[in-house]
Amino acid sequence: MKIALVVDYLKTGGAERQVLITAAELGKLGHHVEIITYRSDIEFEEFILKNAITVVPIKAGGFTRIGRVWELSRHLRRGHFHVVHAFKGTPTIFAALAARMAGIKPVFGGYRAEYVQGTFFKAAHLCIDRLLSGWIVNSQTIADSMSAAVGIAAQRFFVVYNSINPAAFIPGLSRDAAKSNMGIAAGDYVITQVARLSPEKNHYLFLDVATIVLQQRSDVTFLVVGDGPLRAALEDRAQSSGIAEKVRFLGTRSDIPDILSATDVSVLTSTREGFPNALIESMCLGVPVVTTDYKAATELISDGREGFIVPGNSPAALAEKIHMLLNDAQLRSRIGLTGKKMVEERFSPAAMVQTLVSIYRRGMES
């Protein structure tokens, strides 16, 4: 098959990593794959080169949005693609219109977060749905929220969970070396949250939890990995709470496996998630996880088995689970190993692309 994967850009992010993994795995199966972007922001150069992934940036002439559709349509028509798959909400609008203009029938939309869009996008997605073969989403939570919010029939959604390749997610540093590299005391436990610094990730809760834990023990360092619009406010909050010396804001990092190598407990305090990539990456390395009770959490883990799920309005409950894990090395090991095994079984790239290919073929045959 000749497959076009459409995304707005290839900057650091969960959806962007997934489109690259998808392209690489489909290529291993012998399919011709192109990632088509309409913005010039491209990172992941090493992964792209290593996996010989074809990335095609298109330029919009004339009016920007109309130009995007027109240029994308021209490229799809010239390339004689069999399937078009857009990975996010806005690219879906452009891809659906362009594929129709190019005469390509199997075109799949994509959405990768719990649906909270306004009236314009709801109307646009409902209209675009008529041009699609279906929507490929990465959790049942997303399918349910989009179906309810937009009015798209439930049977129009295909759930394909994100994947991670454990062989490609290996730390380059030992635990002690990773801690030393970040200037963390050798005897400190490390609690890490990897997430964009934006409201839905609820880092204020993470800082409240850090305050509670540090009131009871001083041998813990908290890592905030990621960047975003709330960084300055969060740093001020850590300072005013008197915990700034034990909370490190690391910004956007490319060495996540090394950071997780130094981590004892991985935390996610989100109010909503489509699919929590940060937890999957932590579990891949055997790091026990504690997460808030957004809808997608129960799709990923069973409370007390692969990790712990706590109420999102209770910093005390989250701090209690962290204390429990820090005080019990056997529990940390058991939870971590159970989570790692589950990721290896359920979220392999091979399983993901096999499901995708079957969906693509269904679209071609309908």
Q: Give yes or no for a contact between 50 and 17, defined as CB atoms under 8 angstroms apart.
A: no
Domains identified in the chain and CATH numbers: 2-163+348-365 (3.40.50.2000), 166-346 (3.40.50.2000)
* Sheet with 107-111: strands ordered across: 54-57, 32-37, 2-7, 83-86, 107-111, 134-137, 157-159
3-state secondary structure of 40: coil
Q: Write out the two tokens for 209.
A: 């939890």
Amino acid at site 149: A
Dist CA 345 CA 348 (whole Å) = 7
Q: Give yes or no for a contact between 107 and 83, defined as CB atoms under 8 angstroms apart.
A: yes
Kindly report whether the global pTM for this prediction surpasses the value 0.75.
Answer: yes
Tens-level pLDDT at each residue, the chain (366 residues): 999 999 998 987 778 889 999 999 999 999 999 999 988 778 888 889 999 999 999 886 555 778 889 999 999 999 999 999 999 999 999 999 999 999 999 999 999 988 989 999 999 999 999 999 999 999 999 999 999 999 999 999 999 999 988 877 899 999 999 999 999 999 999 999 999 999 999 999 999 999 999 999 999 999 999 999 999 999 999 999 999 999 999 999 989 999 999 999 999 999 988 888 899 999 999 999 999 998 889 888 999 999 999 999 999 999 999 999 999 999 999 999 999 999 988 898 998 999 999 999 999 988
Dist CA 288 CA 274 (whole Å) = 20
208-221 b/e (C-beta count within 10 Å ≥ 16 → b): bbbbbbbeeeeebb
The DSSP-derived string for 253-277 is -S-HHHHHHT-SEEEE--S--SS-H
